[in-house]
Structure 1
Amino acid sequence: MKYSKYFFIFFLVFSLQSCSDFLDQEPGTQTSIDELLQHKKGVLQALTGLYSELEANVRGERFAVYADLQGGNIKFSPTSSGSNRGQISPPSNLEEVYAFDDLALTSNFKTFYDGSYDIINQANLILEYTPALKDATDAEKNQIIAEALTIRAYAHFLLSLVYSQEYKFTADASHLGIVYATASVKEGIQYPARKTVAETYSLIINDLETAIGSYASKSLLPGQVYSLFNRNNTKALLARVYLQKGDWNNAYATANDVIINSGVSLTSAADYVGQWTRTNLPVSEILLEFSVPIDSEGIVSSSMSQVYGYTTSTSYQKYVASDDLVNLYENNDLRKQLFLGVSLQTLVNGVLTPVNYNFTKKFQDNAGYVAFRLSEMYLIRAEAALKTNRAEVAMADINIIRARSNASLLTSTTNLEENILLERRKELCFEGHLFFDLVRHHKNVTRNDGCISSNCNMTYPSLKFVLPIPTFNTSLNPNLKQNDSY
């Protein structure tokens, strides 16, 4: 813990966003980090800290709700106590984003942007020091490099989803992507420019393919296998990247590889609901769920329940399911049991009135952030099959997911693309997909139930479908071009 804290503080100084401060800190901190990363123990402590920062960045309220909130799966619960009891309002730290009107100067997502590049810089330092380790075998060094490369690619991919228009926004993906950092910031001030989206994806894919070829049999870090990157969940990430890119042949092949060769099976219908409600354990089909932070006494300091949790009628979190989502499920669909319906006092025409709300059961107690699970691979394979003229194959995969949920099976390939998108919304709700799915399908955003924004409906294409790069960063780096309309 001491090393992880030290490592994190160092990188706050050392990051891409604060390279001007680095001039004042060097050489003292540089000497310390050199000493830390000269040996395998120090590198592994650094890698542990890197996972901690990645987990915090994706589990944090902003990114954790972003795709579902913008897409229409989420609305807000009423204030539980005090003078504002019963009132419904968006949280102040997401108010502008929710309205599709974030501000570059005071961006709601500045901590996510900065945190992502801190993570990338940490990964790059590990990648630079690891090859020279004298107390690690080649297999151990390759494993460390594979995990660091995957984390670097993952962080860049998430940044591209939030700050770049989707891949098909221009015919050749020549529109602005992100800054892709492949070297650490160690001295001087650097002014990198944004890559195109085509270049961004090429770099992401190259990092992931290199990582997949470098993985050893297991991680050198302690902890559950499902909480660390490995060859199988890196392939799952690669399948998602290919999906987002619209590279259908590779998306199909990679998702199919994970389904067939990962050794993971779909959670059974009998266990599906119960497994989501277990404390401290993910569902059995998990490919990657980041471990929640636990202190030396075994106390969980933060989890997804701090975003979606419900304890009592006076103790609950801000985010609940919209009726737009809940009403999509058939009555016999097992997934409908994953909503906890409760009555909360809500101001209606100035009078406190009991109103029903639906909390998700996916993220109660000590729930971790679900990064990848096998259901998504079936849905990716289905969409890729359809896009490569194999509609019957696509329908079969959708029916595997629907049968597990006790939903009625599809009997026709008519409107299959819409049915795949619908199934993704129902199966992967609150797991960070909906808005990105809508945009890559060139769909409009329609938010009905519970929408209290001035922009409940947004038409594709929109310049507001990406967030502004924080002004601090564009002011620091004259080559960092701002997104249009900000």
Structure 2
Amino acid sequence: MKTFLKYAGVAVLAISLLGSCKKSFLELNSPTNVDPGVALATEADLLIALRGAYAGLRNVDLFGRSFPIWGDIMADNSYQHTLNTNRYTLYNNFTFNTTDANALGAWTAGYSAILRANRVIAAPLPASANVDQYKGEAYAIRALIYFNLVRYFARPYTDNPSGPGVPIVLTYDPELKPGRSTVQEVYAQINDDLNKAYTMMTRYVNSSQFSKYAAKGLQAKVYLTMNDMPNAKTAALDVINNGGFTAVTAANHAGYWAGSAVTTTKLETLFEVSSDAVANLAFDALSYIYSQAGNYGDLVVNDPLYALFETTDVRRALYPMATRGGASIPTVNKYPVISGDYSDTKVLRLSEMYLIAAEASYPAEETAARDYVNYVTSRRNATAIASTGVQLYEDIITERRKELAFEGDRYLDYMRLKRDIVRGTNYPAAARNIPYSNFRRVLPIPQTELDVNPTIRPQQNAGYN
């Protein structure tokens, strides 16, 4: 049983002073609410608030569903079958606008989670092993949310670090109406939070809680996104060499994905967002939108992705052929549990650290790059990569696509690499080629936020005005 988030409902009530998101993350409850110093007066209070911050990550438009869905449907891994329940149609077709409910949901839920983390971080408790651990986890949660918000609502760091990012909110202020910080400022805040998290956390609890090396794994991904390859490699190798995690192998690959319980074994998962038998999204869970055994099964595997897997590759079994609309097509079974202890959302895995080390080693150390990427291929019964030069780099990116499919990374890789997207015939004709210059390659600041925040109103992303 996933005990850490079992009392998420209680945690949400305990931190209800964080406020409502009816209109925007800025529309908070009255400042006459219980003083945070009183509300979080003990270590037990702090732990309850931290549980609430973790529970916030499971929101349907965060890691509960939209973040991992966007990363594949906006790219070229998944598509919406013609038999569907109209979920994520606008993203399949690239026609979303400023009133899109999912974008608004991610914005409001993201800042709600940030405010919950802020409460923990700002709690006026003396330092102790527990307080430092709880605050370290809160720093990591805040960094994770900012990392996702800035990647979806702003152009990449590799495009223009001085461009508009997202608002940085580090305190509770009901009157605050912030404008957008620069992309560079947001990434600086993310790295500052992760440095503090790494220093403050001293214990590993389970896969549903941040730990020291989960924070370092997230930082490896942050540096990769910034194209800071030396720091990305250093962080990834710190996890690989010192984190104590072991990689999933071909022999235990199927069992790893079939399982849904939070683990303490340090097998593969650095961090995941938990959905258990008590705290879950029911029919809105990530597993439901993929599962052909559930009521939806809307999103299926794009044919070119399926074609990449050799018949010996154990990952191929995660995409079984199924009949939908009278035709046999590859489907997604990476999140197979749709009742009871639901499949969790994998956020950070050890195998990705090897892929980051591989990409970060290129072009200066091609042998090392091949060794790191083939650490993954050798554990999937896939043919080893033997290429050199530019082809080696492309093979590493393709291996990322195969290994991290349906975990929300493909689109974000397209963004950091500033590449056009060619999606193929499974998509509507008008949405098969999405150039990097397309204004919808970033999400709009939600209209609701523009309506209530005069500071951000003139800072809408280009093309949505």
Q: Does TM, normalized by the shorter one, top 0.5? A: yes
Superposed displacement of residue 321, structure 1: 1.0
The reply to whether residue 456 of structure 1 matches residue 432 of structure 2 is: yes
Q: 1:88 matched to which residue of 2?
A: 83
Partner of 2:157: 167
Letter in 1 for 2:298: K
Alignment correspondent of 2:329:
357
Distance 1:180 1:15 in 2: 20
1:305 aligns with 2:282: no
Pick from 166, 172, 175 the counterpart of residue 178 of structure 1: 166
Cα deviations by residue, 1:292-315 (Å, 9 ceiling, x for unpaired)? 14329x997874322222327xx4
Q: For structure 2, which runs of at least 5 residues remain unmatched after alignment? A: 1-6
Partner residue in 2 for 1:10: 17
CA 1:368/1:53 → structure 2, altered by over 3 Å: closer, same or farther?
A: same
Instruction: Check if 1:482 corresponds to 2:463.
Output: no
**What is the alpha-carbon distance in structure 1 between the residues aligned to residue 115 and residue 148 of structure 2?**
15
Match of 1:66 in 2: 70
Counterpart of 1:158 in 2: which secondary structure?
Answer: helix
Q: 1:453: Cα distance to partner?
A: 6.0
| Secondary structure in structure 2 of the residue aligned to 1:174 | coil
Q: 1:126 & 1:6 partners in 2: Cα distance?
A: 15
Deviating more after overlay: 473-482 vs 365-374: 473-482
Partner of 1:84 in structure 2?
none
Q: Does 1:55 align with 2:58?
A: yes
1-structure distance, mates of 2:332, 2:57: 24
In the TM superposition, residue 289 of structure 1 has moved relative to its aligned partner by 1.6
- How far residue 271 of structure 1 moved from its aligned partner, in angstroms, is 1.4
Counterpart secondary structure, 2:399? helix
For the pair shown, the structure with the greater C-alpha radius of gyration is: 1
**Corresponding position of 1:114:** 108
Q: How does 1:41-440 map to 2 (within 5 A)?
A: 41-56=44-59, 57-77=61-81, 87-88=82-83, 92-129=86-123, 132-133=124-125, 138-170=128-160, 173-185=161-173, 187=174, 189-218=175-204, 225-280=206-261, 284-295=267-278, 303-311=285-293, 315-344=295-324, 346=325, 354-365=326-337, 366-387=342-363, 389-414=364-389, 415-440=391-416
The Cα shift of 1:211 comes to: 1.3
CA contact (8 A) 1:97 1:108 kept: no
Q: Which amino acid aligns with 1:258?
A: V
Q: Distance in 2 between matches of 1:147 and 1:279?
A: 22
> How many residues matched?
447
Shift of 1:34: 4.8
Q: Using a 3 Å threshold, how does the CA distance of structure 1 residues 211 and 103 change in structure 2: closer, same or farther?
A: same
1:107 positional shift: 4.5
One-letter code aligned to 2:163: H
**Cα drift, residue 14 of structure 1:** 7.8
Task: Supply the AA of the counterpart residue of 1:419.
Answer: D
Question: 2: CA distance between counterparts of 1:169 and 1:18?
Answer: 27
TM-score under structure 2 length normalisation? 0.90
Q: 2 CA distance for matches of 1:117 and 1:299? A: 20
CA contact (8 A) 1:264 1:285 kept: yes
Contact 2:445–2:460 under 8 Å retained in 1: yes
Question: 1:185-229 CA distances to partner (integer Å, 9 max, x unpaired)?
Answer: 2x4x212121111111111111101111111234xxxxx611100
What SS does structure 1 have at the residue aligned with 2:88?
helix
Change (3 A) 1:95 1:302: closer
Higher alpha-carbon deviation: 144-153 or 267-276: 267-276
Task: Give the C-alpha shift of residue 9 in structure 1.
Answer: 4.0
C-alpha separation between the residues in 2 aligned to 1:18 and 1:264? 37
2 CA distance for matches of 1:205 and 1:157?
A: 10
Residue 39 of structure 2 corresponds to which residue in structure 1? 36
How far the C-alpha of 1:241 sits from its partner, in A, is 0.1
Q: 1:262 is aligned with what amino acid? A: G
Q: CA deviation at 1:184?
A: 1.9
Q: Secondary structure of the residue that 2:186 maps to in structure 1?
A: helix
C-alpha contact 1:303 1:368 (8 A) present in aligned 2: no
Q: Which amino acid aligns with 1:325?
A: L
Distance in 2, matches of 1:138 and 1:14, equals 33
Change (3 A) 1:111 1:392: same
CA contact (8 A) 1:293 1:301 kept: no
Write out per-residue CA displacement over residues 235-279 of structure 1, whole angstroms, 9 at most, x where no aligned residue: 000000000000010000000110111111111221112321234
Q: Equivalents in 2 of 1:161, 1:20: separation in Å?
A: 24
Q: Tell me the distance in 2 between the aligned counterparts of 1:250 and 1:139.
A: 28
* Mapped contact 1:256–1:377 kept (Cα < 8 A): yes
- Specify the SS of the correspondent of 1:443: coil
> How many angstroms does 1:381 deviate by?
0.3
1:16 touches 1:118 (CA, 8 Å); kept in 2? no
Assess if the C-alpha contact under 8 Å between 2:300 and 2:331 holds in 1. Answer: yes
Deviation at residue 124 of structure 1 after TM alignment? 0.9
Percent same amino acid among aligned pairs? Answer: 27
One-letter code aligned to 1:273: A
Summarize the Cα distance change of 1:461–1:355 in structure 2 as closer, same or farther, 3 Å threshold.
same
